[in-house]
Amino acid sequence: MTINHDEVVTKILSKIGEPVTFNYPGDEPEACGKLKDRYVLPAQGERSSVPYWDVVDLIEFPKEAEQEWIRIGYYRMPKDRLVWGSQTTITEPISIWRSLLTNAAKNKPWFRTLLEDVVREVNGTEAAPASSN
């Protein structure tokens, strides 16, 4: 089977603007939002014989005090069927992501190095190789 990655990315991006629903176990109410934006990265390297595409989503929850949330997940394509592979994801308001990333960087040198490398790459300067501390 030959996969046209551009077509798959286009299909994954076509979900922008569609509703997003979170169903929780027990008595937690369902959460309904809208996919506002998405970044897709075809998985790098060989994880398995099944191709993967990682996504970072911006989801708007109009009924929440903080309406913009970020979710990180993935799609996979077993055989020729593209499916959402992240049955459980971390989906948090942007302020929580900021707190999580900031505190992880303050407390874990390996994570701080990753974020510093990311900032260097975004700014157009070469990133140092990641440390395994």
**Do both 47 and 21 map to the same domain?**
yes
The answer on 114 and 73 residing in a single domain is no
Assess whether pLDDT exceeds 90 at residue 39.
Answer: yes
Q: Are residues 46 and 81 in the same domain?
A: yes
Instruction: Return the CA Rg of the chain.
Output: 17
What's the whole-number average pLDDT of the chain?
A: 88
Q: Residue 116 half-sphere exposure, CB side, CA atoms within 13 Å? A: 12
Q: How many structural domains does the chain have?
A: 2
Average confidence (pLDDT) over 12-28: 91
Asked if residue 127 lies in contact with residue 118, where contact means CB atoms within 8 angstroms, the answer is: yes
Claim to verify: residue 19 and residue 50 sit in the same structural domain? yes
Instruction: Tell whether 127 and 108 lie within a shared domain.
Output: yes
Going from the C-alpha of 30 to that of each of 27, 35, 38, the distances in angstroms are 9, 16, 22
The amino acid present at 12, given as its one-letter code, is I
Structural domain boundaries, residue 115: 94-133
- CB-based contacts of 72, cutoff 8 Å, min separation 6: 54, 55, 56, 57, 86, 89, 90
pTM: 0.82
Angle at 132 between CA 87 and CA 119, to 5 degrees: 75
pLDDT, tens only, 61-119: 998 999 999 999 999 998 889 999 888 888 999 999 999 999 999 999 999 999 999 99
